[in-house]
Amino acid sequence: MSETGSATVNQPTRPGSLAVWMQASRAWTLGMPFMCVSVGTFTALYTTGQFSPWKYLLAAVAAMALQAGANMVNDYYDFVSGTDSPDWQSPENFGPGLVIQRGFLKPEEVFRGGLFSFVIGIALGLVLVYLCGWPVLVLGLIGVFGSYFYTGAPLTLAYRGLGDFMVFALMGPGYVMGAYYVQALHFSWSAFVASIPIGLLCSGVLQANNLRDIDNDAAHGKRTMAVIIGRIAAVKELRLSNLFAYLVVLFGVLAGLFPWLALVVGITIPHAREEVRLVSEGPDAERHNRAMALSGQLQFEFGAVLVLAFLLAHLL
């Protein structure tokens, strides 16, 4: 076979524009911010009886837009810094995405797409500021700052071991308590306690990703928490984070902050155990990709159980 024919066979087929941008934004990750906002919203319904579907929709779409922007800015900076190989078939590149490496989009297009998503998130956030007041502005600015500078220059927080903390803080207390405030116009201990397990499970998604990429990140100077503390300690951190998420819900129930129905989150424990098992079995990309998918599923299902518990407790 000629070199031209071989290149044609190996060249990935470009999907349609919508599919490409969904791939670039990592649309499969947008369920995380949606569930964070949902937990905060339905905590407010349970504790105060307040619920505005329009504010809920605005907050959810704004959070998902910021997540999409962060994903695209992250891919851009990982590519231009050399952390991600320019060869889409390189063993250094794991998992889905890779729209730059596959030639579907230019790096500058991905960066501009990220900025456009940030603009959408900011615009929707400003509507919520108008409706709900200055606390939403403060939380929104923190969210935009953290989402962009997660890998954006000059701070590149994820390259300095702060990625886990930023994801926990933004998606846990940030999104959950922000969504609560949008509905209730005040903060509460119930919302704060609810934000902790959600933040921990979101951080767990990142830890599963960083465990998958630990060797490549270390080789390119990206000092994630997994790189800093090592694979064994990072697996222990993930196990403890999952355990603490369930213990916090138990505390919330015993303290009278959550309904007893919240204990049904225990049905998700098998997924938490399987996630840890997969990342404990060594540096296998396929197993780690399954662990990442499972960690996202765990966060969504855990949050959905809490939402259902708050809703049923309110109705009953």
Mean per-residue pLDDT pooled into runs of 10, the chain (316 residues): 44 76 88 96 97 97 94 87 56 59 86 95 96 93 87 78 89 95 96 97 90 82 86 92 97 96 96 91 75 90 97 94
Domain count, the chain: 1
Q: Tell me, what's the pLDDT at 91?
A: 44
254-292 residues labelled b (16+ CB within 10 A) or e (exposed)? eeebbbebbbebeebeebbeebbebbbeeeeeebbbbbb
Segments forming the whole domain that contains residue 276: 16-315
How high is the pLDDT of residue 152?
Answer: 78
Give the model's pLDDT for residue 87. Answer: 46
Q: According to the model, what pLDDT value does residue 302 have? A: 97
Is 144 among the domain residues? Answer: yes
Q: Rounded to whole angstroms, how far apart are CA atoms 222 and 162?
A: 11
- Nearest-5° angle of CA 153, CA 159, CA 163? 100
Please check whether residue 195 lies inside any domain of the structure: yes
